[in-house]
Amino acid sequence: MATLKNRSRREQTYNLPHDAYCSDGQCRCVPVTQHFVHHDAAAGVSGVAAREKNLSASIIFLSGETKDDLPETILKCPDISGAIKRRELVKVD
Ligand SMILES: [Zn+2]
């Protein structure tokens, strides 16, 4: 598990893409239902259809906030590793 602290004075939001964040085999994406208009040309009718989709997760750090018990795979997410390089986020042990 990882612990991260937001050192910046701003609230920060980071994207946690599936390829990195769920790379330990545990999908933490957010399921959403997408509705769209479907036109059946053969039958000449239109209707609303639904499609299940997973959206990548995201995380919000308030100014100065520390979050613990984060999966280690969070460190592989480009937004997070970039923020650590910029010293915006620090790893707390
Ligand atoms: Zn996922």
- Residue 21 C-alpha to ligand 1 middle, in angstroms? 7
Q: Cα(60)–Cα(19) distance, rounded to whole angstroms?
A: 19
Give the model confidence (pLDDT) of 38-67 as tens digits.
Answer: 898 999 999 999 999 999 999 999 999 999
Say whether pTM exceeds 0.95.
no
Q: What mean pLDDT value characterizes the chain? A: 96
16 forms beta bridges with: 57
- Residue 28 C-alpha to ligand 1 middle, in angstroms? 5
Give the model confidence (pLDDT) of 4-38 as tens digits.
Answer: 999 999 999 999 999 999 999 999 999 999 999 98
- Residue 42 C-alpha to ligand 1 middle, in angstroms? 37
67: tokens are: 């979050």
- Residue 92 C-alpha to ligand 1 middle, in angstroms? 25
Q: Cα(46)–Cα(32) distance, rounded to whole angstroms?
A: 22
77: tokens are: 């997410």
Query: What confidence category does residue 93 fall into, taking pLDDT thresholds of 50, 70 and 90?
Result: confident
Is-contact 92 24, C-beta < 8 A? no
- Residue 70 C-alpha to ligand 1 middle, in angstroms? 15
